[in-house]
Amino acid sequence: MREHRLYIGGRWRAGGGGTAAATSPSTGEPFATVAVADPDDVDAAVVAADAAFAAWSAASPFERASACGRIAAAVSARRDELARALAQDQGKPLVAEAYDEVDELAVYFTMAGEDAKRLAGALPASTSADRRVLTARVPLGVVGVVSPWNWPYTMGAEIFAPALAAGNTVVWVPAPTTTACCALLAEILEQASLPAGVFSFLSGPGPVVGAAVVGHPLVAGVGFVGSVETGGNVAARAVGKTQLLELGGNGPMVILDDADLELATDAALEAAYLCAGQSCTAGERFLVQAGVRAEFTERVVEATKERVRLGDPFDPQTTMGPLNNEATAAKFDRHVADAVAGGARVCTGGRRTPGLPTSLFAEPTVLDGVTPGMAIEREETFGPVVPIVEVSSAAEALRLTNASPFGLTTAVFTGDLERGLAFAERARAGWVNINASTNLWESHLPFGGRAGSVSGRGRVGGRYPMETFTEPKTIVYPAPRFSQ
C-alpha cells in the first residue's frame, strides 16, 4: 500500500494530523494512505511560500514558462500512471475519461507557460510632459488553492498553473477523497526543480486544512472550485483577499421545437452522464418544448439503455463509473425520490445498481414529468440524471432558466441560429452553448458564473486566472532628458 506525505518547503514530510486511508469508490478497498496536515503544517507551508515569493516573482517569465513546460512533459510521460491513479481514486472510466483529463492537465501547464510570456503592461500618458508612467502586472504573493474531487487534476491546475506561471507561489489543498491521485501530481511538480517553497501540497479535511490556508494572514489570493455552500465559507474566511470562486451550477439544456433531436440526444448523454453527472457544467435539467418532449424523451431513454455502460472503471468498455462518495450518492437518491413523490416518472434507472462491489454505482436515469420547484429541478444533483421538464415556449424556457439562483452554464438547441443567439444573449449565465452540450467547453476561454448568481466570481480558463492573481502596479518617473 502506497504512502503519500505532505510536500512543504521543498521536502516531503509526515502530517501532524496522522494519516487517513484512501479507498476506491469502485471496489471499496483501501489502496493507499495519505498524510493529514494540522495547523502547524499549514503555517509551515504558507511561511515557506512567502519566503520563496521574492525570488520566484523576480525570475524571468521565460524561466517560469520553462518550468511549466517541464511539468507538462512529465505529465505526458507519466500519462498512464496518472490516469490509472485517477480511475482508482476518483472512479472515472480509464479509457472513456481518465486519459482525457490527464491530457488536458498537460495542456494547462503548457498554456500557462505561454500566457506568462505575454503578460503585458502599458505606458499610459501623464498629465505632465515632464513625467512618464508605466504600469506592469505583478503577482500577488502566496495563493492558496482548494480544489474538488470531480476533476482532481485539472480543477486545481486550471488555477495554480497560471498562478505559478505569473510569479505567485502556491499552497494546494485537494479534496480529501481524491488526495492519493493528486499526490502523484505533486510529485511531478517536485521533480520539475521548482525552488523550495514555490509549491506546497497539503492534504486533510477542507474545514480544517483548507480553511486554515485560505484564512492565513500571509495568503494574498485564494482560488476555490467546489460547492456553493463551501464557497460561501471560503469567501467569508478570505475576506479582503483576492478571490477566484468557481462554484456550482444547475445548467438547463433547452430543447426547442425546431431542434435536431438526434444531435440533442447525443448532447444529453454527454451532459448528464460525463463523470457520472458529477460536474458543475452537467445538464441538471432539460427544458423541452411540448411538441418534441415525447420524442426527445423516447430517444434519450433508448440511447441511455443502448450506449451507457456502468461498471468497473478499468474495463475498456465502461463509459460511466461509480459516484465518488456516499454523500453524493445519497443526494441522487433523495432527488429521484422527491421527483417521483411529486409525480415524475422513472423512464429508466432511478436507483443504485445491486450486485457491484460498492453501493456507489448509480444507474443512468431519465425522469419525465419533472416540474418546477422539485428539488431535482432547483438544486444541483451531481448525479447521472436527465430530468425532463416540459415547457410551452422559448419564453417559458428562458423564464425558468433565469429564475434559478445559479448562473454558470446553459445550452439551447434550435434549428434557427438567430433564435439561439437571441436566447443566449438573454440567458443569465456565464457560458451558453448553442446546439452543444452544457459540458462542452474549451480550456483557454473564460469560464465562470454570471454576476449576481451563486455560481461564483472571477473566471478560470487560459490567461484569465493569471489576470486575477496579478495586479497592476503603477510607476511614475521623471521624463528622460536628452543632452547633447
| Cα R_g (the chain), whole angstroms | 24
Told to judge if 182 belongs to the known catalytic residues of this protein, a careful annotator would answer: no
Told to judge if 68 belongs to the known catalytic residues of this protein, a careful annotator would answer: no
On whether the CB atoms of residues 39 and 216 are closer than 8 A, the answer is no
On whether the CB atoms of residues 340 and 346 are closer than 8 A, the answer is yes
- Could you tell me the domains of the chain? 2-247+457-473 (3.40.605.10), 252-442 (3.40.309.10)
Backbone angle region of 196, left / alpha / beta, with phi > 0 → left and psi within -120 to 50 → alpha: beta
Which are the contacts of 70, defined by CB distance < 8 A and separation ≥ 6? 192, 193
* Selected catalytic residue, list 97, 101, 158, 246: 246
* Selected catalytic residue, list 101, 280, 380, 467: 280
Q: How far is CA 260 from CA 256, 292, 296, 394, 412, in A?
A: 9, 10, 10, 16, 11
**Full 3-state SS string of the chain:** CEEECEEECCEEECCCCCEEEEECCCCCCEEEEEECCCHHHHHHHHHHHHHHHHHHHHCCHHHHHHHHHHHHHHHHHCHHHHHHHHHHHCCCCHHHHHHHHHHHHHHHHHHHHHHHHCCCCECCCCCCCCEEEEEEEEECCEEEEECCCCCCCHHHHHHHHHHHHCCCEEEEECCHHHHHHHHHHHHHHHHCCCCCCCEEECCCCHHHHHHHHHHCCCEEEEEEECCHHHHHHHHHHCCCCEEEEECCCCCEEEECCCCCHHHHHHHHHHHHHHHHHCCCCCCCEEEEEHHHHHHHHHHHHHHHHHHCCECCCCCCCCCECCCCCHHHHHHHHHHHHHHHHCCCEEEECCCECCCCCCCCCECCEEEECCCCCCHHHHCCCCCCEEEEEEECCHHHHHHHHHHCCCCCEEEEECCCHHHHHHHHHHCCCCEEEECCCCCCCCCCCCECCCCCCCCEECCECCCHHHHHCEEEEEEEEECCCCCC
Q: How do the pLDDT tens digits run along the chain, 484 residues long?
A: 899 999 999 999 999 999 999 999 999 999 999 999 999 999 999 999 999 999 999 999 999 999 999 999 999 999 999 999 999 999 999 999 999 999 999 999 999 999 999 999 999 999 999 999 999 999 999 999 999 999 999 999 999 999 999 999 999 999 999 999 999 999 999 999 999 999 999 999 999 999 999 999 999 999 999 999 999 999 999 999 999 999 999 999 999 999 999 999 999 999 999 999 999 999 999 999 999 999 999 999 999 999 999 999 999 999 999 999 999 999 999 999 999 999 999 999 999 999 999 999 999 999 999 999 999 999 999 999 999 999 999 999 999 999 999 999 999 999 999 999 999 999 999 999 999 999 999 999 999 999 999 999 999 999 999 999 999 999 999 999 988 7
